[in-house]
């Protein structure tokens, strides 16, 4: 979609200069606004036409049954689906007696612009009605970062040729009718009328609605208030009903005499608080917003983002589309978690109902590394949610006959919601992913209060799970059998390398945490004998290796499986899960997404450079990337090994996943982990940043397509800028005391008094790896798309495959 002529490469904005109705579902996701608590899809102000209406609150869900053809012990009984709550975005317009609808009359101009610096969505339209009146519409929408419960709209309509009577209807609407999106399992279960009315009230130029979800019994409050500025004679009135509140404004307007209104919105929800408490909460938030005023809300938004970009910006020279894409990715990653405040950070954020609004391991493995180094408070809060739901994880572990905590594969509120046990129950690596995020945040923040109150309990309970899940074999090796790793084309395998190595780090970190905090550890009943057993399991962790091939099997025996017949697989047969039975995928050498290669990245300290090169080449040839989570990891490892052009191609694929709608499911919401993966591909890939041990390590190398990469990170209260060219890297402390780091394996100290510039050694020369036929990233090999430019081009055969995916869907595309 970004290749559409209506879109332009802009370093600080996403701009659409003409309205494409066929692209509405995608643009509603791309232009969505959120602060991690409230999410507003970018539906047109007038509400119609739409692709998919959507207003979401983090953690607010409806329960639904999970049906099974055959029951089994330990199967989750209930699922959870994100709720489309009361819609406060709607502002309808009548010009004369004609409703403003872009499908009728003549839309002479239309532009939308997502301002990444200001945190605002601007819209400008010039419309000639069927009866000939011409009006100009200007709107600006925001979801406040500074005021968690507040959103607002600035709305202006002005005739351009003659005086016209206009009517503006500003609404709160509950239980919107949603379109039927078919049987795509990626799309949220569409619940019909999930909200029961409890209260409707009117006051001043505003109104309030309170509802409860029918099954989960969550109470949701939504309120609106207006400031009206119009010509003399402007009138307004308010009406309310159970599922609708409306403020109607009438005025006679003309050229130079526009009608303006500011709509303040406030939202709140709770699973336990009373109706008066929710009512008072949203009314107080609304009063605060009105007291602050529109101009101050806009200033607050800009100040918040100025602060964010000062410590998080990534600058690229050499590819304008990529510069735009990385800032878009960072902005939406921030939106997903900024004000989540111990609620689940969903795979789609709050941009759409895809995956039922569930959080997965994506959060800890892809999103939290970005937030840890750019918005650490948001990372801390996301881990605080895991800690808050640990009681449920303990109950789940007990149900499964295990010690410690078994965190869910997919959830909103903390209960396991996966109805497919090989992918859900058996994917225990989520526990180690959480522990890995804890270790990373603690090292990067040096937050001792978090380490004792949140980090240590998470590390201890996840370590207990691994010690009870695994066992020592006759040769003294610690084995973890019958688990599912990140690759969803393999399941219930023995000794998945990624799982075992991440569990090893988990066990070591838990033991170190107990030693560092003995008093708090005593409260968790973590004694010396238990800690010694963790260390022994970590020291004797079994990591399979195929000596004949000289590579690590993804799991024990994997390299002995029959290889998938890629030559006989047509482009339309991807994604494979829609065209092949799982049993066949599970018994063949074919990889959906980076698994062993992800281990090379996150546990790179466990492999030699030669092992990494051989492993990467082996798995490149069998990885089909039917998952949006893969390209960024492949970019990171390609860069480290020395395949810089290939790394650049994978970087572009990650960066354009949603802007180019590569999976053809951006309509359901953005791929937040893939967006975060854009930062990972740049910072960990081209910037070579690693955090395997305490402290920072960098091994930067740039591909030929880029002439400079500059990024900033937050580390222990410092802001460090890293400026990479082909020949040198300059480290500059923008804030804080001196910091020690490693540059291409050599220790260095960056002092705040002066930047430090060091030479970049050349990348090793290696033969380029091959990919399955038709599954190479765009622009690979260089020149294959005509000019060697990977950005903005689909992989060979990907469009046909994506169309097939859009028709039938994929569980985790």
Give the active site residues.
488
- CA 383 to CA 364: how far, in whole Å? 8
CA distance 502 to 484: 13
The three-state secondary structure class of 729 is strand
Q: Give the whole-angstrom CA distance, residue 332 versus residue 812.
A: 20
Cα–Cα distance for residue pair 639/720, rounded to 1 Å: 22
Of 297, 268, 311, 334, whose CA–CA distance to 36 is shortest? Answer: 334
CB 149 within 8 A of CB 281: yes
Q: In this structure, what are the phi and psi dihedrals at residue 467, rounded to the nearest 5 degrees?
A: -65, -30
266 and 223 Cβ atoms separated by less than 8 Å: yes
Let me know: does 323 contact 10? Beta carbons within 8 Å.
no
Distance in angstroms (rounded) separating the CA atoms of residues 790 and 432: 34
* DSSP conformation letters of 305-328: HHHHHHHH-EEEES-HHHHHHHHH
Are residues 229 and 260 in contact, defined by beta-carbon separation less than 8 angstroms? Answer: yes
DSSP-derived pairing of the beta strands 206-213 and 120-128: unpaired
Tokens 């403020």: give the residue: 247
**DSSP characters over 81-114:** EE----B---EEEEETTEE--TTSSEEEEEEEEE
3-state secondary structure of 7: strand
**How far is it, in rounded angstroms, from Cα 138 to Cα 123?**
6
CB contact at 8 A, 463 and 439: no
Asked whether the beta carbons of 497 and 520 are under 8 A apart, the reply is no
Tokens of 549: 């091939």
Strand partners, 747: 742
User: Cβ distance 176 to 87 under 8 Å?
Assistant: yes
Q: Where are the beta strands (DSSP E) in 660-800?
A: 696-698, 708-715, 718-724, 728-735, 739-743, 746-750, 756-759
What is the distance between the alpha carbons of residues 143 and 146, in angstroms, rounded to a whole number? 9
DSSP bridge partners of 709 = 316, 724
In angstroms, the Cα distances linking 390 to 405, 464, 468 are: 7, 13, 17
Q: Tokens 């800028």 identify what position?
A: 721
- Supply φ then ψ for residue 708, to 5 degrees: -160, 145
- CA pair distance 360, 356, nearest whole angstrom: 11
Rounded to 5 degrees, φ, ψ at 92 are -85, 155
403: its two tokens: 């010690």
633 Cβ contact list (under 8 Å, min separation 6): 593, 594, 597, 598, 601, 677, 680
Distance from the first to the final alpha carbon of the chain = 18
> How many helices (H) and strands (E) would you count in the chain?
21, 32
**CA-to-CA distance for 436 and 444, rounded, in angstroms?**
12
Reported as half-sphere exposure (CB side, CA atoms, 13 A), residue 450 has a value of 22
């Amino acid at each position: 979609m970004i290749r559409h002529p209506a879109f332009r490469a802009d370093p600080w904005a996403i701009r659409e200069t003409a309205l494409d109705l066929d692209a509405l579902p995608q643009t509603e996701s791309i232009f969505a606004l959120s602060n991690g608590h409230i999410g507003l899809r970018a539906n047109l102000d007038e509400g119609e036409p739409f692709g998919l209406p959507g207003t979401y609150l983090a953690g607010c869900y409806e329960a639904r049954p999970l049906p099974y053809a055959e029951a089994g012990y330990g199967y989750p009984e209930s699922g959870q689906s994100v709720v489309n709550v009361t819609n406060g975005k709607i502002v309808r317009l009548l010009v004369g007696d004609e409703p403003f609808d872009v499908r009728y009359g003549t839309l002479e101009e239309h532009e939308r612009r997502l301002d990444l610096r200001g945190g605002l969505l601007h819209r400008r339209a010039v419309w000639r009605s069927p009866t000939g009146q011409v009006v100009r519409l200007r709107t600006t929408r925001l979801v406040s970062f500074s005021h968690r419960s507040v959103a607002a709209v600035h709305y202006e309509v002005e005739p351009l040729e003659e005086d016209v009577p206009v009517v503006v209807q500003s609404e709160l609407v509950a239980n919107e009718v949603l379109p039927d999106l078919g049987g795509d399992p990626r799309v949220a279960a569409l619940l019909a009328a999930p909200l029961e009315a409890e209260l409707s009230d009117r006051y001043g130029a505003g109104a309030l609605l309170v509802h409860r979800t029918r099954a989960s019994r969550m109470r949701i409050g939504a309120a609106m208030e207006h400031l009206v500025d119009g010509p003399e004679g402007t009138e307004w009135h308010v009406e309310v009903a159970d599922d609708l509140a409306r403020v109607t404004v009438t005025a006679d307007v003309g050229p130079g005499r526009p009608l303006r209104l500011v709509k303040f919105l406030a939202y709140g929800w709770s699973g336990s608080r009373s109706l008066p408490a929710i009512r008072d909460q949203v009314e107080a938030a609304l009063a605060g917003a009105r007291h602050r005023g529109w101009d101050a809300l806009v200033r607050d938004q800009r100040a918040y983002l100025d602060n964010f970009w000062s410590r998080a910006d990534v600058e690229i020279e050499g590819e304008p589309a990529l510069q735009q894409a990385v800032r878009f990715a960072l902005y939406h990653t921030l939106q997903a978690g900024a004000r989540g405040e111990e609620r689940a950070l969903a795979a789609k954020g709050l941009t759409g109902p895809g995956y039922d609004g569930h959080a997965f391991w994506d959060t800890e493995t892809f999103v939290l590394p970005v937030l840890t180094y750019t918005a650490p408070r948001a990372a801390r809060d996301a881990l605080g949610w895991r800690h808050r739901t640990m009681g449920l994880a303990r109950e789940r572990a007990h149900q499964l006959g295990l010690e410690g905590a078994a965190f869910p594969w997919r959830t909103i509120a903390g209960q396991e919601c996966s109805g497919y046990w090989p992918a859900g129950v058996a994917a225990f690596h989520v526990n180690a992913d959480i522990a890995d995020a804890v270790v990373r945040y603690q090292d990067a923040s040096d937050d001792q209060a978090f380490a004792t109150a949140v980090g240590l309990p998470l590390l201890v309970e996840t370590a207990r799970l691994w010690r009870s899940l695994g066992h020592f074999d006759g040769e003294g090796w610690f084995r973890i059998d019958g688990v599912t790793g990140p690759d969803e084309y393999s399941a219930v395998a023995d000794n998945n390398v990624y799982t075992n190595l991440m569990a090893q780090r988990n066990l070591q970190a838990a033991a170190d945490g107990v030693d560092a905090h003995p008093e708090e550890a005593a409260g968790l009943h973590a004694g010396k004998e238990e800690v010694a057993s963790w260390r022994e399991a970590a020291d004797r962790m079994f990591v399979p290796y195929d000596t004949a091939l000289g590579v690590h099997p993804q799991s024990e025996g994997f390299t002995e499986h029959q290889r998938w017949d890629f030559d006989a697989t047509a482009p339309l047969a991807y994604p494979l899960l829609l065209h092949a039975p799982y049993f066949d995928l599970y018994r063949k050498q074919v990889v959906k997404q980076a698994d062993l290669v992800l281990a090379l990245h996150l546990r790179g300290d466990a492999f030699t450079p030669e092992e990494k090169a051989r492993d990467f080449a082996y798995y490149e040839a069998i990885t089909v990337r039917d998952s949006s989570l893969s390209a960024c990891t492949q970019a990171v490892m390609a860069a480290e090994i020395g395949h810089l052009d290939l790394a650049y191609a994978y970087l572009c694929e990650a960066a354009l996943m949603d802007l180019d709608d590569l999976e053809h499911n951006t309509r359901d919401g953005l791929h937040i982990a893939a967006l975060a993966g854009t930062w990972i591909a740049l910072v960990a890939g081209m910037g070579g940043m690693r955090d395997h041990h305490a402290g920072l390590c960098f091994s930067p190398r740039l591909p030929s397509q880029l002439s400079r990469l500059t990024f900033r990170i937050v580390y222990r209260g410092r802001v460090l800028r890293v400026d990479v060219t082909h020949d040198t890297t300059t480290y500059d402390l923008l804030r804080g005391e001196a910091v020690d780091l490693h540059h291409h394996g050599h220790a260095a100290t960056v002092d705040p008094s002066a930047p430090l510039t060091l030479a970049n050694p050349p990348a090793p020369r290696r033969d380029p790896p091959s990919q399955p036929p038709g599954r190479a990233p765009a622009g690979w090999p260089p020149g294959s798309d005509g000019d060697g430019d990977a950005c903005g081009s689909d992989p060979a055969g990907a469009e046909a495959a994506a169309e097939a995916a859009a028709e039938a869907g994929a569980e985790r595309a």
